[in-house]
Amino acid sequence: MNLDALAQTAQEMVANNRGLLAADESTGTIKKRFDSINVESTETNRRDYRELLFRASGVGKYISGAILYDETIRQKSDDGTTLVDLLRAENILPGIKVDTGAKPLAGSENEKITEGLDGLRDRVAEYVELGATFAKWRAVITIGDHMPSTYCIHVNAHALARYAKICQEGGLVPIVEPEVLMDGSHDIGVCEWVTTKTLEAVYHELYQQDVQLEGTILKPNMVISGSDCPDQASTREIAAATVRVLKRCVPAAVPGVMFLSGGQSEEEATRNLNTMNAEQGPLPWALSYSYGRALQQSALKAWLGDAQNVPAAQAALLERARQNSAAAAGTYQGEAEGKAA
């Protein structure tokens, strides 16, 4: 294991206020995205859509890496260029989702365990050959009646650490993603408590399994009110609670925290990130973004499956990425400023 190389890659992922484009939607998830714009989810359409994102000229100024799905890391454009090479041409690091999804957790109804450890070492070796430099594994923690259980938090934290160790030994920087879902009617205080317990368990397991934190990235949820909570926390409350949890739980050795958007709107995800950086610093780690829908939604609506709309879709992606990069610097001025620019 080359810790210096892993640490250098992790630092590059969060350098210069850049973030990650999460383009690793599973086949089922991207079908839902395409259904929303009445586009058939064929392999060609999926490739064309992701290709337009990766070919957006100048996107590398704001995006340091892109998380790919297994299908995508193997695809080529019509001119024979691999999608991995398209990313590298924009100075974007290719990454790969390596888990096989969240499945029902035996012995705990309605909770999930993320699977994919079997055969992971061989998959990591193959993905490195295909050009990947980092990986992602997502664990899902649900808040509800008698949930999450200590059991659920423990087994997911243990699996995250096992994945991280295997990735580091294989040469990939692991993104550690324990997502406390925003679904539910709980308030921000409950989310703060659950997120704290989850991150405590995750870092305990990472230490136990000798994962080198300098060569990792954390991808957590923000601490927010449940989506059905009648009392929605303000942006400042979200920023303060999120940073409070990170300070309690995340060692300074971690180079960066790259938030998931978790169902927030594009503007919400950008505004909350900006408030953390503008009002809660200085901090021991870079706070940045690893957004899927919160980077892509405007581009998807502009594209509509029509090749003539590719320039408009790319412009929408670039604008969204620029705004999030500003939020990573704490200088985002809001949507009105973005439209004027």
From the candidates 111, 136, 219, 266, give the one annotated as an active-site residue.
Answer: 219
* Annotation says 25 is catalytic: no
From the candidates 25, 51, 111, 177, give the one annotated as an active-site residue.
Answer: 177
What tens digit of pLDDT does each residue of 73-101 get? Answer: 999 998 999 999 999 999 999 999 999 99
pLDDT at residue 16, as a whole number: 97
Listed in sequence order, the residues at least 6 apart from 223 whose beta carbon sits closer than 8 Å to its beta carbon are: 188, 191, 192, 195, 238, 241, 242, 244, 245
Question: Residue 21 and residue 166: Cα distance in Å, rounded?
Answer: 23
CB 224 within 8 A of CB 264: yes
Secondary-structure percent of the chain, ordered helix, strand, coil, rounded to 5: 50, 15, 35
* CATH of the domain spanning 3-340, picked from 3.30.300.30, 2.40.70.10, 3.20.20.70, 3.40.50.2300: 3.20.20.70
Tokens of 308: 């003539």
The domain locations on the chain are: 3-340
pLDDT at residue 263, as a whole number: 86
pLDDT at residue 77, as a whole number: 93
pLDDT at residue 334, as a whole number: 82
Helix (H), strand (E) at residue 248: helix 235-249
Report yes or no on whether pTM surpasses 0.85: yes
DSSP structure string for 146-199? TBS-HHHHHHHHHHHHHHHHHHHHHT-EEEEEEEE---SS--HHHHHHHHHHHH
* Annotation says 301 is catalytic: no
Question: Residue 209 and residue 318: Cα distance in Å, rounded?
Answer: 39
Task: Name residues of the chain where pLDDT drops below 50.
Answer: 337-341
pLDDT at residue 335, as a whole number: 65
